[in-house]
Amino acid sequence: MERLSEVARQEQFLSVLSREEAAARFRAAVPHATLPAETVLLAEALGRVLAEDIASPIDVPPFDRSLVDGFAVRAADTESAREGSPVRLGLNAEILACGTAPNLAVAPGTATPIATGGVIPRGADAVVMVEATEFLGDAAGPAIEVARASNPGQFVGYTGADMALGETVLRRGVRFTAREIGMLAACGLDRVPVVRRPRVAVLSTGDELMAPGALLRPGAIYDSNGAIVAASVAENGGVALPGGIVADDEASLETAIRESLETADLVVLSGGTSKGAGDVSHRILSRLGEPGILVHGVALKPGKPLCLAAVGTKAIVVLPGFPTSAMFTFHEFVVPLVRALAGLPPREEASVEARVPQRVPSELGRMEFVMASLSRTGDGLVALPLPKGSGSVTAFSQADGFFPVPANRAGLEAGEAVTVSRLGAGVKPPDLTIVGSHCLGLDRVVGLLADRGYRARTIWVGSAGGLAALKRGECDLTAMHLLDPESGRYNAPFLAPEMRLAPGWRRMQGVVFRAGDPRFAGRRAAEAVAALAGDAETVMVNRNTGSGTRLLIDGLLEGGRPAGYWNQPRSHNAVAAAVAQGRADWGVAIEGVARAYGLGFLPLTEEHYDLAYRAERANEPGLAVFLALLAEPETRVALRELGFATGAGD
């Protein structure tokens, strides 16, 4: 009878709180923060959460490579080729299979056989597909005939086009799916830092409970909460430490809870909160240590008699004994904590509806899958087709998913609705989409933005491509460094009336060369270029049309087109790699990249790297936070540490 007469007393501590009030007290006492990192093998990282930002230790691909089976040529040699009047190119005595480095340069009038994935040799700037050639094995030696002109860069995959050395390729907080594992494998990592999984002790209490598999005695039931809680912990990124069934007496329960607190990050006990039994766990939790019981009773149905407690910053949650009550309270209070400790975001769906913002061309007669990134607009989700080709690993990473263009359609029209299948789980649309030119400084700013809880998607297509995307409304921000030769000013002259410029930082550009090369060492940049522009043995590497650097190079060459002019990769990294690997002798790149490749550097001029946006979007949350962040002293300090110039009077 004593037990029953205690009910009145127990009622007094069961003071029911609202769900919000209970959650607030719980969060105030127990940090819902990500646990520290541990290192695991990449092959075991599936489902784990990345603990640190990962910068690629190499360029991917690590060299300029052929995208087809064919012949490496100089595009200029094929300029006059026509059907009926082909150009003859003598074959060099080397076959560039996959995995072998070239030994011979492609001299004017020659070609070198190359396999898909083979390294583009020095001198070559394009590849002709084998199907577009005729083999000639005559007295003059092996040769091919080419009946069509090639553009420079044709069938060439440039160094770093997929991932550039030093580029942040994955950000902390990402949950590993197959595609993240593939990306890190592609850049050569076999170990990764992941968030340690929260260890959750799972105890069941009640004298009526028996473990599954045992023979049930009269009046007893099988413990199901223990199994459900353990499995739910695993489903939410934790590791369950199954503690089994604890007898419903004070001594056993206290021992079990104390032992669990030693090894676990969180203790979940089910049973023992009903009015007839709650006093036992209540008494124990009251004396384990500060702050003790935080909440006992929540306005939830089912689940009212939930008890939340903490010792230090470790939580102890006592779930109601009935399974449905236990699971709802578990999902309301324990799942958010486990996911927060595990570094996991809330869930999202597996497919979403979106519109395509532009016409998507496709070949009639075959189904085409288009990789797309998702972007929120005032008018719902937009699926942006991604520019990367099928050789790309990151296409999978930048993509939120893909949509099909049916075989019986020659493409989709702008504004048409598509169903985007998400790739992997746990992916959600970013708060901010940045399209344009890559910079390590921007990687750093995006990292600071992530610290403030905003996730940015970055797509590197160059300054001009970024500006076009901004014009079409496909991104929030364009990262650019375009020089207007007439005014000598960067960026501002290129903006449309609806665009605004946020000042970024400045990067020193210069001529890069292999350290110690006597043709360059000790000279001034303009002087060296002027002296070597006419030398057939000195091969340059150019940049793509539309890039700010290309304008700088064209200014430097004053109309000259030295050997290598038609080799026009799209990034500072590809330029530096071409020089470092001997495919070229000089090019123009920024100082930080020259340093990363161990190259010599002759300074030219400071390039302005700024951020453009559309005026009407300035108050959207992600963009507003980014713009404010850009002006903060902390950001300027971080940029200067990376070697960039910031501040007024630029």
Site for a copy of itself in 270-299 (CB under 8 A): 274-277, 299
> Is 155 an interacting residue with respect to a copy of itself (CB under 8 A)?
no
> Is 21 an interacting residue with respect to a copy of itself (CB under 8 A)?
no
Smallest gap from residue 63 Cβ to a copy of itself (A): 7
Smallest gap from residue 12 Cβ to a copy of itself (A): 13
> Is 367 an interacting residue with respect to a copy of itself (CB under 8 A)?
yes
Using the minimum distance from each CB to a copy of itself, give the nearer residue, 216 or 631. 216
Site string (376-395) toward a copy of itself, x via CB under 8 A: ------------xxxxxx-x
Beta bridge partners of 608: 506
User: Helix (H, G, I), strand (E, B), or coil: what is residue 100?
Assistant: coil
CA atoms within 13 A on the CB side of 598: 3
> Is 9 an interacting residue with respect to a copy of itself (CB under 8 A)?
no
Site for a copy of itself in 434-463 (CB under 8 A): none
**Amino acid in the structure at residue 130:** V
Cβ(393)–Cβ(334) under 8 Å? Answer: no
* Cα–Cα distance, 213 to 207 (Å, whole number): 17
Using the minimum distance from each CB to a copy of itself, give the nearer residue, 177 or 509. 177
Smallest gap from residue 251 Cβ to a copy of itself (A): 17
Site for a copy of itself in 574-603 (CB under 8 A): 581
> Is 98 an interacting residue with respect to a copy of itself (CB under 8 A)?
yes
Angle between helices 250-263 and 278-287 (to 10 degrees): 50
Site for a copy of itself in 405-434 (CB under 8 A): 407, 424
Smallest gap from residue 586 Cβ to a copy of itself (A): 20
* Residue 240 phi, psi (nearest 5): -80, 135
Using the minimum distance from each CB to a copy of itself, give the nearer residue, 15 or 390. 390
The sign of the dihedral angle between the CA atoms of 278, 341, 226, 250 is negative
Site for a copy of itself in 183-202 (CB under 8 A): 183-191
Site string (236-275) toward a copy of itself, x via CB under 8 A: ------x-----x-------------------------xx
* Cα–Cα distance, 58 to 63 (Å, whole number): 10
- Which of 21, 82, 135, 263 forms a contact with a copy of itself (CB under 8 A)? 135
Using the minimum distance from each CB to a copy of itself, give the nearer residue, 212 or 488. 212
**Amino acid in the structure at residue 203:** L
- Which of 301, 378, 379, 486 forms a contact with a copy of itself (CB under 8 A)? 301
Using the minimum distance from each CB to a copy of itself, give the nearer residue, 189 or 318. 189
* Cα–Cα distance, 357 to 433 (Å, whole number): 15
**Amino acid in the structure at residue 480:** M
- Which of 51, 111, 118, 483 forms a contact with a copy of itself (CB under 8 A)? 118
Site string (519-558) toward a copy of itself, x via CB under 8 A: ----------------------------------------
> Is 116 an interacting residue with respect to a copy of itself (CB under 8 A)?
yes
Which residue in this structure is represented by tokens 């003790």? 292
* Cα–Cα distance, 204 to 648 (Å, whole number): 64
> Is 103 an interacting residue with respect to a copy of itself (CB under 8 A)?
no
User: Helix (H, G, I), strand (E, B), or coil: what is residue 50?
Assistant: strand
Using the minimum distance from each CB to a copy of itself, give the nearer residue, 303 or 562. 303
* Cα–Cα distance, 319 to 325 (Å, whole number): 8
Smallest gap from residue 348 Cβ to a copy of itself (A): 7
For residue 636, give Cα distances in angstroms to 255, 363, 488, 609, 624: 54, 48, 25, 14, 17
For residue 188, give Cα distances in angstroms to 30, 72, 158, 160, 165: 39, 27, 18, 14, 12
* Residue 546 phi, psi (nearest 5): 100, -15
Contacts of 184-188 spanning 24+ positions with Cβ under 8 A:
184/42, 184/54, 185/42, 186/60, 186/162, 186/393, 187/56, 187/57, 187/58, 187/60, 187/163, 188/57, 188/58
Site for a copy of itself in 25-64 (CB under 8 A): 42-43, 46, 58, 60-63
Q: Near a copy of itself by CB under 8 A, which window of 359-367, 497-505, 589-597, 599-607?
A: 359-367
- Which of 117, 462, 569, 600 forms a contact with a copy of itself (CB under 8 A)? 117
- Which of 90, 182, 289, 429 forms a contact with a copy of itself (CB under 8 A)? 182
